[in-house]
Amino acid sequence: MTHPGEITRRQLLRRIGMTAFVAGPGAGLLSACATAGTGGEPTAAPATSIPASANPKNPFGVDAKKPLEVVIFSGGYSDAYAKDLHEELYKKAYPGVTVKHNATQQIGTQLRPRFVAGDPPDVLNNSGPDSMDLAALAAEGHLADLAPLFDAPSVDDPAKKVRDTVTPAVLENAKVTGKDLVLNYTVSHRALWYNAKLFETKQWTVPATWEEFLALGEKAKAEGILLFAYPGQKGPYYQLWNVLYTAAKIGGNQVIIDIDNLVDNAWNAEPMKRAVTVWVDVQTKYGDKAYFGLDHTQTQVKQLQNKLLFYPVGSWVENEMVKDKPADFDYAIAPIPEVTGSDKMPYGAIQVGVGENFVVAAKGKNPQGGLEYLRLMLSKEGARGFTEKTQNLTVVNGAAEGVNLPAGLVSAAKAQDKAGQNIITEARFEGWYKELFDYGTEQINVVMAGRITPEKFCANMQKKADDVKNDDSVTKQTRSR
């Protein structure tokens, strides 16, 4: 079953228009990062419909005399795609315009005071561990309505609306309490990533069952290699995702849907407890507590040195480590092994979704320019250039045709081929209830380090979820699938 925000490879290829890749037959998908949720009833900048008489080359009435400020999260994708591509497209469309570019990994730290002071940037790439709470921003009226963007004529074909040029998952995930406020720009795969060349050299087989997974752990341990690790600093949410997707593998996507919907005792469900238990067991037997003191980059370097086999991350990792990746390392994706022998989702199920959030500030100095900037990003030139610079795919149909793609992307495409309709749904409470998600990223380190039991972890998370549910100041959101 396919869920909003998740897509089959066949659907994605058809919608993105990737009929052939230079990378070879069967080549496919990839990319992404993370974002933020709470607050009162969201409001947005008034949605102004685009008049039929509007200039398709400037549907929002951009004033080229107004400067535009863009802030980019400089993480796995760096910021060159914005500085050297998207901002240049904006300058080309509006000669003489000034674009101020800022890149940071401290999105929330740097920008919260500016939003409070009424001096936000026009465009914000809200991503990374310090991302801002989107639901709170929406509640305070800080996010511009993107409905006019989706209804605007596309850059490539003015006869088509922008909404008709992107995968439908973009439109589903744009909503914060029913309003189109967020643009997710990339396609992402989150699973276990490993070095295919190492496995080939060692003649190891990617484990399909938990028993095979642990047996491989013994082989690796004998050679001084960790079976698994995740970053305890600036990335513990990678393991929170991993546990959630393992729970969905065991009990089906309803496990995550119930967590998102704040259903009573959702965190205490048996699949959730089992998922936490098996990963704590792996950490205890085959992990290294030293990794709790490492950040994501340091952990990823360890993997490039073949000091650990499996790493729970998203497809942005390949570009993030491109400068450090040795010639004997090829990223490849591995589905979560069969845990119980009777998991509801078969082996091969993986998580696929859209991500990398962009918003326009409703109270910025140039919201019209902000909308236009996103429209240019959603052109084929803007999207193809992003793929070429980051080796990750966007949500724009047909933009990746003919692009030479790396090994990890090809591997992800093949994995999604095998998954078919068995796509693990994306947990949305990360964006809906940031306080709950942040608490989870703290608690996952505590349980993985053995300081509390899996049962206590689930009880703590349930108590926090109940607190959110009972807090009338927090806008509640729901999903049906």
Task: Give domain status of residue 481, yes or no.
Answer: no
**pTM score, whole prediction:** 0.75
Domain match, 285 and 393 both:
no
Q: Residues 89, 199: one domain? A: no
Domain range for residue 297?
Answer: 191-347+427-469
Q: Tokens 């989107």, residue?
A: 134
CB-CB contact of 351 with 247 (8 Å)? no
CA 347/CA 306 separation, integer angstroms? 25
Quick one: CA dihedral 360, 365, 370, 372, positive or negative?
Answer: positive
The residues, ordered by sequence, that sit 6+ positions from 428 with a Cβ below 8 Å of its Cβ are: 5, 260, 477, 479
pLDDT tens digits along 80-114: 999 999 999 999 999 999 999 999 999 999 999 99
State the Cα–Cα distance between residues 444 and 196, nearest whole angstrom.
Answer: 28
**402, burial (CB in 10 Å: exposed 0-12, middle 13-18, buried 19+):** exposed
For 447, residues 6+ apart whose C-beta sits below 8 A from its C-beta are: 276, 280, 453, 454, 456, 457
210 and 149 share a domain?
Answer: no
Tell me the percentage of the chain whose pLDDT exceeds 90: 74
- Domain total of the chain: 2
pLDDT range class, residue 53, cuts 50, 70, 90: low
Question: How far apart are the two ends of the chain, measured CA to CA in Å?
Answer: 9
Q: Is residue 4 part of a domain?
A: no
Q: What does the pLDDT average to over 450-461?
A: 98
Question: CB atoms < 10 A from the CB of 201, how many?
Answer: 11
Indicate whether 477 belongs to any domain: no
Handedness of CA 209, 210, 214, 215 (dihedral sign): negative
Instruction: Write the CB contacts of 45 (distance below 8 Å, at least 6 apart in sequence).
Output: 141, 143, 144, 145, 362, 363, 367
pLDDT digits (tens, 9 = 90+) for 108-152: 999 999 999 999 999 999 999 899 999 899 999 999 999 999 999
Q: What is the pLDDT of residue 56?
A: 87
Q: Is the pLDDT of residue 27 over 80?
A: no
| One domain for residues 338 and 359 | no
Are residues 221 and 111 located together in one domain of the fold?
Answer: no
As a whole number, the mean pLDDT across the chain is: 89
Q: Are strands 423-424 and 350-360 parallel, antiparallel or unpaired?
A: parallel
Task: Tell me whether residue 277 is in a domain.
Answer: yes
CATH code of the domain in which 30 resides: 3.40.190.10
Residues 170 and 204 in one domain: no
**Cβ-based neighbour number of residue 53 at 10 Å:** 5
